[in-house]
Chains A and B, each alone.
Chain A
């Protein structure tokens, strides 16, 4: 069965802290994605990666960076967390066969105080 896991379900951090959100998939998928979800705004793409060490900016990359050192793992980094980054963060992945349906992790609810 397809599995995407995220390192934390809930996280509370202080303004200015460096935050790491980790995502691991066990499906050998090439493509991985990070979204943030806010009420009324749906899902917005932060970054995605189509291969190890490859990354591309999504629609809202400001304030975030990513790392993909291994195929199965995709990390989202908040270099200096701010209160406007309080949100639900969702990781997803998909394989190489159309229509490329994405499989999602359970999400991390991040609160920055």
Chain B
């Protein structure tokens, strides 16, 4: 069965520091991969996605993520964090071949706190 693990429940970084949020998945083939961000009291916003091609993908707000097949990982990175990046981040996995129902499996989320 598919699963998604975000090992870090809570991360604190200083403003201006670099950031890496980890995501590991379990799936027999290359899945569709997503990162979403959720600000307090809001819905989820898509940051970036991967489904084929270049394994380094660029997203909105200066985020990028790298798909590493050998490690079953899709880690999210940002070179310099801004205070407005404080939010909850979700990694999600979809299964190609599941028809167009597009069901996603979400990780438990990582809460990012940014220190001034």
Q: Which A residues are within 8 Å of any B CB, using their own CB?
A: 4, 9, 30-31, 33, 40-43, 45, 48, 50, 56, 58, 90, 92, 94, 96, 98-107, 109
Partner of A106, one of B43, B51, B90, B96: B43
A sample of 28 cross-chain residue pairs with beta-carbon separation below 8 angstroms, ordered by A number, consists of A9-B41, A31-B101, A40-B9, A41-B108, A42-B106, A48-B101, A50-B101, A56-B101, A94-B102, A96-B100, A98-B32, A98-B96, A98-B100, A99-B32, A99-B34, A99-B51, A99-B94, A99-B102, A100-B32, A100-B102, A101-B49, A102-B46, A102-B104, A103-B46, A104-B36, A104-B43, A106-B42, A107-B43
In the bound complex, CA of A94 to CA of B96 (Å): 14
Could you tell me which residues of chain B, from 100 to 116, have a CB within 8 Å of some CB in chain A?
A: 100-104, 106-109
Give the distance to chain B from A1, nearest Cβ to Cβ, in Å.
12
In the bound complex, do residue B46 and residue A101 qualify as a contact, i.e. CB atoms below 8 Å apart?
yes
A101–B100 touching, CB < 8 Å: no
CA distance A5 to B80 in the complex (A): 33
Q: Given the complex, which residues of A lie within 8 Å of B96, measured CB to CB?
A: 98-99
Q: Mark B1-41, 1 if CB is under 8 A from A, else 0.
A: 00000000100000000000000000000001010100001
Tell me how far the C-beta of B67 lies from the nearest C-beta in chain A, rounded to whole angstroms.
12
Which 6 pairs show the lowest CB-CB distances between chains A and B? A100-B102, A99-B32, A99-B51, A104-B43, A104-B44, A42-B108
